[in-house]
């Protein structure tokens, strides 16, 4: 250091710290050979504390205020060293300024997912993110445990350790809480309070206070998010059949608005007709069910006539069973003389095989054919 700097240090008797960095927690006051003049003025502003360290030992701690460094204001240091007046250095000491304001927006987040057992989804892996706020509440402990003899200590140098503590306690409490995944968002405040209370004694060991911890988000795995989106969509759609009809009607309306026949309109019209066809099939399938239902009491419209089940026939030709044959094929066989009055016939409901001439359903069809000769 130059001679002028040395002399300037002897003449200047104001010791203060004006912090414009925003992230400095500890700052050591620079003096030539750490010489502090008797009677110097010490200014400690709000949200600051000043610590005197003499020969590696903390001698005095000052809160906000204006102090004359005399034997009256340094009783502890006075017992350690003898004071003299004048420019001759009465003692050599280091002065550390500590910022006691809140350091906000310190981010934390899980590096790896937290595996939990959810009652609805089973084993899930969650990620959590948020911020927290700390401040120095015990400058002496903070200097002793954390800052040491560093001349310039920033909040970044300690956030790694603090964030690890936050994540560890948060993961432990989240697993112990057994809160269902779908209810986590409604319990962010409770979880934040539990973590803050759990970490309070651990932060106090470093002379710090965890004034606030916020949970911004607890993220689900992508696959679970997609499943939730599908479930939400199904809940919004509600009646799937009604939704299909509604979509089909919208498609037909859009198709009607594009009669020019360009490619995109053609595709839209085709989709509209396809959905309309699907709607028609759905309505057709529902029609028999509606028709089968009994008419309401007092209804003026008679119920539909019951339909007769089509009869299929089995024939005995050449000693072998043939069939089954529909009514139409039986008529063709009668015209072709393949089926005669003597042909053995059976259909559902008959007790045994009978000649075709004795079957009521075939007698009229065989009426034009003469009976066989005796």
Is pLDDT at 327 greater than 50 in this prediction?
yes
- Between 40 and 320, the more confident residue is 320
Q: Residue 335's domain spans which residues?
A: 313-363
- Between 155 and 38, the more confident residue is 155
- Between 361 and 215, the more confident residue is 215
Residue 16 lies in a domain: yes
Shared domain for 145 and 64, answered yes or no, is no
Q: What is the pLDDT, as a whole number, of residue 100?
A: 93
Q: Is 149 left (phi over 0), alpha (psi -120 to 50) or beta?
A: alpha
Q: Could you give the C-alpha distances from 193 to 95, 118, 161, 176, 211, in angstroms and in order?
A: 37, 22, 20, 14, 10
pLDDT band at 273 (very low <50, low <70, confident <90, very high): low
Residue 231 lies in a domain: no
Shared domain for 40 and 136, answered yes or no, is no
Q: How many CB atoms lie within 10 A of CB 93?
A: 23
Q: What is the pLDDT, as a whole number, of residue 32?
A: 65
Query: Mean pLDDT across the stretch 56-63?
Result: 84
Q: What is the mean pLDDT of the chain?
A: 77
Q: What is the pLDDT, as a whole number, of residue 302?
A: 74
Residue 70 lies in a domain: yes
Shared domain for 89 and 58, answered yes or no, is yes
Encoded tokens for 111? 């590096």
pLDDT band at 103 (very low <50, low <70, confident <90, very high): very high
Q: What is the pLDDT, as a whole number, of residue 316?
A: 87
| Contacts for 149 with CB less than 8 Å, ≥ 6 apart | 94
CATH number at residue 110: 3.30.479.30
Asked which of 84, 99, 114 is the last residue of a domain, the reply is 99
Residue 368 lies in a domain: no
Q: Summarize pLDDT for 104-141 with one digit per residue, the tens.
A: 999 999 888 888 888 877 888 888 999 999 999 999 99
Encoded tokens for 161? 């350790």
Identify the residue whose tokens are 């045994």.
352
**217 bridge partner residues:** 129
Shared domain for 186 and 122, answered yes or no, is yes
Shared domain for 76 and 126, answered yes or no, is no
- Residues 96, 143 contacting (CB under 8 angstroms): yes
Tally of domains within the chain: 4
Residue 300 lies in a domain: no
Query: Mean pLDDT across the stretch 267-289?
Result: 55
Lowest mean pLDDT: which of 36-40, 122-126, 337-341? Answer: 36-40
Lowest mean pLDDT: which of 150-159, 262-271, 303-312, 364-373? Answer: 262-271
HEC secondary structure over 247-277: HHHHHHHHHHCCCCCCHHHHHHHHHHHHHHH
Q: What is the pLDDT, as a whole number, of residue 165?
A: 92
| Contacts for 13 with CB less than 8 Å, ≥ 6 apart | 37, 39, 40, 41
- Between 266 and 68, the more confident residue is 68
Q: Summarize pLDDT for 77-102 with one digit per residue, the tens.
A: 554 455 444 444 456 678 899 999 99
Shared domain for 115 and 196, answered yes or no, is yes
| 156-177 helix and 188-204 helix, angle to the nearest 10 degrees | 130
Cα 159 to Cα 167: distance, rounded to the nearest angstrom? 12
**163 bridge partner residues:** none
Cα 68 to Cα 39: distance, rounded to the nearest angstrom? 5
Identify the residue whose tokens are 């072709």.
336
Shared domain for 17 and 95, answered yes or no, is yes
Shared domain for 126 and 110, answered yes or no, is yes
Encoded tokens for 236? 């919004």
Shared domain for 31 and 133, answered yes or no, is no
Shared domain for 150 and 259, answered yes or no, is no
Shared domain for 147 and 217, answered yes or no, is yes
Residue 234 lies in a domain: no
């Amino acid at each position: 250091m130059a001679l002028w700097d040395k002399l300037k240090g002897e003449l200047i008797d104001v010791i203060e710290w004006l912090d414009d960095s925003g992230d400095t927690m500890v700052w050591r006051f620079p003096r030539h050979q750490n010489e502090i003049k008797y009677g110097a003025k010490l200014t400690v502003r709000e949200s600051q504390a000043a610590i005197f360290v003499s020969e590696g030992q903390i001698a005095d701690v000052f809160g906000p205020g204006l102090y004359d460094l005399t034997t009256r204001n340094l009783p502890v240091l006075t017992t350690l060293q003898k004071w003299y007046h004048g420019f001759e250095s009465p003692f050599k000491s280091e002065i550390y300024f500590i910022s006691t304001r809140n350091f906000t927006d310190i981010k934390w987040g899980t590096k790896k997912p937290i595996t939990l057992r959810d009652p609805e989804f089973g084993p899930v892996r969650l990620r959590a993110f948020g911020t927290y706020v700390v401040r120095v509440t015990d400058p002496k402990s903070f200097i002793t445990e954390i800052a040491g003899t560093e001349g310039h200590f920033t909040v970044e140098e300690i956030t790694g350790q603090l964030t690890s503590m936050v994540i560890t306690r948060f993961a432990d409490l989240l697993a112990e809480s057994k809160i269902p995944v779908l209810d986590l968002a409604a319990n962010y405040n409770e979880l934040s309070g539990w973590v803050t209370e759990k970490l309070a004694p651990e932060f106090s060991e470093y002379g710090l206070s965890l004034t606030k911890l916020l949970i911004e988000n607890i993220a689900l795995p992508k696959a679970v998010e997609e499943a939730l989106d599908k479930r939400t969509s199904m809940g919004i759609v509600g009646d799937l059949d009604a939704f299909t009809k509604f979509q089909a009607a919208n498609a037909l309306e859009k198709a009607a608005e594009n009669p020019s026949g360009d490619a995109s309109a053609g595709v839209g019209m085709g989709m509209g007709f396809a959905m309309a066809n699907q709607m028609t099939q759905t309505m057709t399938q529902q029609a028999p069910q509606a028709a089968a239902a009994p008419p309401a009491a007092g209804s003026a419209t008679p119920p539909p006539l019951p339909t007769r089940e089509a009869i299929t026939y089995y024939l005995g030709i050449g000693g072998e069973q043939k069939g089954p044959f529909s009514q139409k094929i039986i008529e063709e066989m009668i015209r072709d003389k393949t089926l005669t009055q003597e042909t053995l016939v059976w259909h559902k409901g008959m007790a045994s095989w009978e000649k075709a001439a004795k079957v009521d359903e075939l007698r009229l069809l065989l009426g034009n054919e003469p009976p066989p000769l005796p």
